[in-house]
Amino acid sequence: MQTIIEQCIAFVKLTLNRAESGHDWWHVYRVWQNSIVINKEEKEDSEIVEVAALLHDIADAKFHNGDETLGSKISYDFLIGTKMHSSKIDEVVKIVDNISFRGGFAKNIYQSMALNIVRDADKLDAIGAIGIARTFSYGGYKNRVMFDPKISPTEYKTASEYRKNENPTINHFYEKLLKLKDSMATETGKQLAKQRHQFMLSYLEQFFNEWPEAVPNHFNFDIYQ
């Protein structure tokens, strides 16, 4: 008999077989492993944390016409066919439904430490060297300009505006990635985020040093030190 974790792994690998490389099985795998590391300190129910981490991106809204509920629906339909207890299924589904960044406009109606663990694990994969690689991978997938000094970073007013933006890839650092370190909810997440955050600052410094023209002040990142 397969364990629930093994069933989840097989299901996710099959479902995300053709996913964009920044949101594929390997992204899920890294988030899963991050969640295990964080949970060693938080000591929440490991089955809930690991299953939620494995299913957290099963149907990312940006690849499904903005549907924010599809992931939780797919997760529920899958888990109801396993031997996972119904109360744990309910919590996993709530985590999947509430984990998305959504431009920083998530309603945060549901709160739990398990959600904090998986969310921090997901944020960690969005920053540092891998976060940079994922950002440019997605920018290429969307055929976005890498950098345009004339287009300044945007402060979005709604989640919808954030979802629809087509800004250059470098702008995404200012619009999301550089904000993630200070949004970590767990102590382990905060500690792990520091080095990855500094790496992004070093990367941006090198990027702008190599840019052949003076870079406008609105790309100054001193406030994120």
What residue segments make up the domains of the chain, in order of their start?
A: 4-224
Looking at residue 68, its pLDDT comes to 75
- Residue 75, Cβ neighbours under 10 Å: how many? 26
Percent of the chain with pLDDT over 70: 92
Average pLDDT for 142-156: 94
pLDDT higher than 90, residue 80 = yes
The chain-wide mean pLDDT, for the chain, equals 91
pLDDT higher than 90, residue 92 = yes
- 12-16, 55-59, 171-175, 204-208, range with the lowest pLDDT: 55-59
Average pLDDT for 132-143: 95
Average pLDDT for 198-204: 98
Looking at residue 106, its pLDDT comes to 58
Residue 1's pLDDT band, with cuts at 50, 70 and 90, is very low
- Residue 172, Cβ neighbours under 10 Å: how many? 20
Distance separating alpha carbons of residues 213 and 59, to the nearest angstrom? 40
Looking at residue 101, its pLDDT comes to 64
Measured N-to-C along each axis, helices 46-55 and 86-98 cross at an angle, to the nearest 10 degrees, of 40
pLDDT higher than 60, residue 14 = yes
pLDDT higher than 60, residue 145 = yes
99-128 pLDDT, tens per residue?
A: 986 545 555 678 999 999 999 999 999 999
pLDDT higher than 60, residue 78 = yes
pLDDT higher than 70, residue 152 = yes
Tell me the one-letter amino acid at 110: Y
pLDDT higher than 70, residue 203 = yes
- Domain 4-224 is in which class? mainly alpha
Query: For residue 4, which of 123, 89, 102 has the smallest C-alpha distance?
Result: 89
Looking at residue 103, its pLDDT comes to 46
- 96-100, 122-126, 188-192, range with the lowest pLDDT: 96-100
Looking at residue 28, its pLDDT comes to 97
